[in-house]
Structure 1
């Protein structure tokens, strides 16, 4: 169950990172409220996963999922560049997440 909590926490991290773009510097109330809720839920799920998972592994995976997902969303929604180097770096993050999962 801890891995599911961690995965959901990572997805919510993607959500709040993207949500920050829509808050317009926290001036728009609805995107701001949704972003804050996503932050709280993400941290709560991360905390639940830490009951059984090692801190270093869980935190690295949480940030890795968030980083990887945010880059992909940026490419798909905001026309950010999808260069070979960026995609290669995402691949390295995926390999790191897989390695951490296999050793935990």
Structure 2
């Protein structure tokens, strides 16, 4: 079941990154966007509606979740940098899955 639930394995945090490692990871973000676009550009509608696992999100939902998550992270950082007493708001990604 774990192989289906975590096809690339469970998240393993990397602790104590150097500044160079952090910069390198940040530089990879635009490349990820290009790679996703390349992978998605030729997909048919039915493929976008295919779940990546039984009872899982569809390809379309996963891609939308990535965008939602990035937007929320951006807004959280912006609030943290610009407000005197920022609140760490949560969001219900399960409500955005459709």
What TM-score range do you get, normalising by the shorter chain?
0.3 to 0.5
- Normalising by structure 1, we get a TM-score of 0.38
Indicate the structure with greater helix content.
Answer: 1
TM-score (normalizing by structure 2): 0.40
Which structure is richer in relative contact order (CA contacts within 8 A, separation 6 or more)? 1
Which protein has the larger Cα radius of gyration, Structure 1 or Structure 2? 2
